């Protein structure tokens, strides 16, 4: 009989328990606990105190069938994602590529484009009001138009997304710029010697080497789109065409309303959408590592 050597000393076990235990407690207490609590609460009718009434899926059917802001919010969240992903992010990349070519005054452009990033989106919301206000806005004054940019619900989401993109472009640009600086110039030279034109060299050689940066930018874009909140809240509390899921959660739970069960149901929908992206991203990541 071979003597089984103990692989872990008592001290190791203690360290392990402390090391893993703390992480587990923090994780469960701060992430999984509240998440599961939200899911559970979404099946109840509760005003934050008093008895909790179990009502099953009724919040969800009310949401989908009888709460007009909900679908508007879902649509806006998707629009936000698509707009940032297909317009703002590529434009940020485009700016980065231009700036990487060392134009005259590129430092100036770089700071000008990056400047909005230091502003909080709530502040961008206030700036947007100064620009878009119907009666006093700069835009109407300069162009002579009399469009109700912020009140007309067929256009307000678009102008607000432009304001949000103003900030997002700078953010994406600076990340890509850092990525581009790190690309080995020899690659570009080699491509040029092989007869590739500028466009081919960028899309076939440089862009693929930016892959790690692309992943980061993609994640940032998705996060920015899903957590959008402050800009619409600053403008009109996220009502009248500017509904977003995050705003509806706040409106129902945090506001004077205290419809905790109903608000939780909206939060769960937002969670499901976020999980969709997270799971796709992680499964991609793990597949590559294998």
Partner 1 sequence: MDHRPPISRRNLLLGTAAAFGVPAVLAGCGGSEQPSPGSTSGNLGAVTLGSNASDEVPKKSLATVIEKFTQASVRINTVDHNTFQENINRYLRGTPDDVFTWFAGYRMQFFAEQGLATDISDVWQEIGGDYTQAFRDASTGVDGKQYFIPFTYYPWAVFYRKSVWEEKGYEPPKTLDELTALAKKMQGDDLVPIAFADKDGWPAMGTFDIINMRMNGYDFHISLMAGKESWTDPRVKQVFDTWRGLMEYHQPASLGRTWQEAAQSLVQKKSGMYLLGMFVAQQFPEEDLADLDFFTFPEINPTHGTDSIDAPIDGYMVSAKAKNVDGAKALVKHLAQASSQDIATELDPGTLAASSKADTSGYSALQKRGAELVSQASHIAQFLDRDTRPDFASTVMIPSLQSFVDKPAEIDSLLTSIEQQKANIFR
Binding site for partner 1 (CB under 8 A): 47-50, 62, 65-69, 120, 122-123, 126, 129-130, 132-136, 146, 148-153, 156, 230, 233-234, 236-237, 239-240, 250-252, 254-259, 262
Alpha carbons 250 and 136: distance in angstroms, whole number: 30
CB nearer partner 1, residue 176 or residue 233: 233
- Positive or negative, the CA dihedral 255, 257, 261, 265 is negative
CB nearer partner 1, residue 87 or residue 147: 147
Minimum gap (Å) between residue 241 Cβ and partner 1: 8
Minimum gap (Å) between residue 25 Cβ and partner 1: 24
Do 250 and 229 form a contact (C-beta atoms < 8 A)? yes
CB nearer partner 1, residue 66 or residue 289: 66
Torsion angle of the four alpha carbons 155, 274, 116, 207, in this order, in degrees rounded to the nearest 10: -100
Q: How many helices (H) and strands (E) does the chain have?
A: 16, 2
Torsion angle of the four alpha carbons 184, 190, 191, 197, in this order, in degrees rounded to the nearest 10: 100
Minimum gap (Å) between residue 130 Cβ and partner 1: 7
Do 38 and 28 form a contact (C-beta atoms < 8 A)? no
CB nearer partner 1, residue 256 or residue 289: 256
Minimum gap (Å) between residue 152 Cβ and partner 1: 7
CB nearer partner 1, residue 174 or residue 269: 269
Minimum gap (Å) between residue 259 Cβ and partner 1: 5
Do 165 and 87 form a contact (C-beta atoms < 8 A)? yes
């Amino acid at each position: 009989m071979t003597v089984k050597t103990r692989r872990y000393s008592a001290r190791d076990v203690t360290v392990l328990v402390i090391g893993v235990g703390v992480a587990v407690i923090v994780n469960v207490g701060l992430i999984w606990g509240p998440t599961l609590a939200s899911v559970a609460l979404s099946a109840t009718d509760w005003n934050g105190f008093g008895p909790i009434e179990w009502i099953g899926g009724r919040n969800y059917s009310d949401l989908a069938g009888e709460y007009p802001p909900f679908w508007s919010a879902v649509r806006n969240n998707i629009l936000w994602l698509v707009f940032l992903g297909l317009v703002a992010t590529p434009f940020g990349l485009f700016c980065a590529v231009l700036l990487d070519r060392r134009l005259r005054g590129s430092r100036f452009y770089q700071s000008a484009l990056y400047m909005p990033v230091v502003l909080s989106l709530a502040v961008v919301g206030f700036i947007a009001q100064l620009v878009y206000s119907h009666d006093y806005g700069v835009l109407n004054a300069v162009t002579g138009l009399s469009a109700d940019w912020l009140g007309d619900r067929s256009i307000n989401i678009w102008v607000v997304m432009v304001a949000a993109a103003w900030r997002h472009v700078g953010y994406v640009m600076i990340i890509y710029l850092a990525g581009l600086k790190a690309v080995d110039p020899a690659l570009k030279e080699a491509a040029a010697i092989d007869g590739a034109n500028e466009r081919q060299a960028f899309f076939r050689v440089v862009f693929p080497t930016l892959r790690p940066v692309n992943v980061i930018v993609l994640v940032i874009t998705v996060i920015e789109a899903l957590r959008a909140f402050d800009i619409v809240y600053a403008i009109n509390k996220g009502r009248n065409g500017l509904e977003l899921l995050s705003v509806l959660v706040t409106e129902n739970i945090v506001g004077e309303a205290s419809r905790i069960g109903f608000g939780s149901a909206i939060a769960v929908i937002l969670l499901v959408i976020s999980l969709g992206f997270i799971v796709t991203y992680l499964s991609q990541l793990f597949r590559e590592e294998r």
